[in-house]
Amino acid sequence: MPDSLLIVGSVAYDNVETPGGRVENALGGSALFGAAAASLFAPVHLVGIVGTDFDRAGIAFLEERGVDLEGLETAEGNTFRWTGVYEEDMNNRRTLATELNVFANFAPRIPDRYRRDRIVFLGNIAPRLQLHVLDQMAGPEWVALDTMDMWIRDAADDLACVLKRVHMVVINDSEARALTGKTNLAVAARSILDMGPRAVIVKKGEHGVLLAVGDEFAVLPALPLETVVDPTGAGDSFAGGMLGYIAATGDVTVSGLRRALAYGTAAASLAVEDYSFNRLRGARREALDERYRWLRSISFLPDPHDQEHQNA
């Protein structure tokens, strides 16, 4: 029986414009993307906040997949809303508006039933709130944290505290550089290890991910997708898929983490093929296994000394 995964993060309505089209009021946020991916592997306990405008029918599929929504609080006001636009190459996005709404007063309250969860994903919320979550937990075994440039800049002390209490950091390349002041990503990743966590994952968008654990590195490419519709939520789907796999297996050896990274990559590759989590919504575990095999085939490097044999 897999462990439950606790996910704490944002629940949002997104307005997204891409070179190929646009969506309004699309479901999003780190907690929902994380849960949509993680629930393909393990039961999920979700903690977040929505406004009275939120239509729960849109996330009924999560409950059908075993996502527990007791921790999804409803507060007076509107749900968090993000409006953004992607440029032609999809690697750059501009935020046009961030309406925090009820998310401005989010103080995550962990239901009793969730407090013994062993695997935790702290989505990108204020480090102070991430600490508040950990204070309510009964000694989780593997906590992963995401953060962003705003907290690195404006909440450095809180962030330093929470980094000492987590096992894994999941962060994008520009944030890793901002957090450490190091431009070289391998050096930046090691510097983050020195801040407390046992593992650091640097997300490089279309270029894949870098994992640093102790003295070891692993690098996984992203899948060479020919169609990318909307990159929104790719990072959270990655984290959700990865942590869902860890919750399902309990395996945090380096080998286990490599596999978890690959399943996270697989989940993210599905997420970006449509708006919101339209693609993840209908996906099954088999689709992720197929992407895993694809990833394995593209990143396979033969033994250097096997040449004569291969030619035979």
Residues that bind a copy of itself (CB under 8 A): 88-90, 177, 183-187, 189-190, 204, 206-208, 210, 216-221, 224-228, 249, 251, 253, 255-256, 258-259, 262-263, 289, 292-293, 295-304, 307, 310-311
3-state secondary structure of 74: strand
Packed helices 254-271 and 30-38: angle between N→C axes, nearest 10 degrees: 110
5 versus 102: smaller Cβ distance to a copy of itself: 5
What's the distance, Cα to Cα, between the start and end of the chain in Å?
46
Smallest gap from Cβ 227 to a copy of itself, in A, equals 8
Smallest gap from Cβ 240 to a copy of itself, in A, equals 17
Q: Which of 286, 207, 202, 294 is nearest to 239 (CA)?
A: 202
129 versus 219: smaller Cβ distance to a copy of itself: 219
Task: Determine how β-strand 142-146 pairs with β-strand 168-172.
Answer: parallel
Q: Which of 261, 264, 263, 244 is nearest to 253 (CA)?
A: 261
Smallest gap from Cβ 201 to a copy of itself, in A, equals 13
Helix-, strand-, coil-residue percentages of the chain, each rounded to 5: 40, 25, 35
Smallest gap from Cβ 163 to a copy of itself, in A, equals 21
Give the pair of three-digit tokens for residue 202: 């640097």
Q: Which of 244, 239, 252 is nearest to 44 (CA)?
A: 244
50 versus 242: smaller Cβ distance to a copy of itself: 242
Smallest gap from Cβ 222 to a copy of itself, in A, equals 8
Question: In 239-307, at which residue ranges do the beta strands (DSSP E only) sit?
Answer: none
Smallest gap from Cβ 153 to a copy of itself, in A, equals 19
62 versus 168: smaller Cβ distance to a copy of itself: 168
Q: Which of 7, 72, 74, 57 is nearest to 35 (CA)?
A: 7
95 versus 310: smaller Cβ distance to a copy of itself: 310
Smallest gap from Cβ 296 to a copy of itself, in A, equals 5
Contact 120, 9 (CB under 8 A): no
Q: Which of 144, 157, 148 is nearest to 125 (CA)?
A: 148
Smallest gap from Cβ 239 to a copy of itself, in A, equals 18
163 versus 188: smaller Cβ distance to a copy of itself: 188
Q: Which of 188, 132, 17 is nearest to 86 (CA)?
A: 17
59 versus 257: smaller Cβ distance to a copy of itself: 257
Amino acid found at 116: R
Vertex 72: Cα angle to 67 and 75 (nearest 5):
160
19 versus 111: smaller Cβ distance to a copy of itself: 19
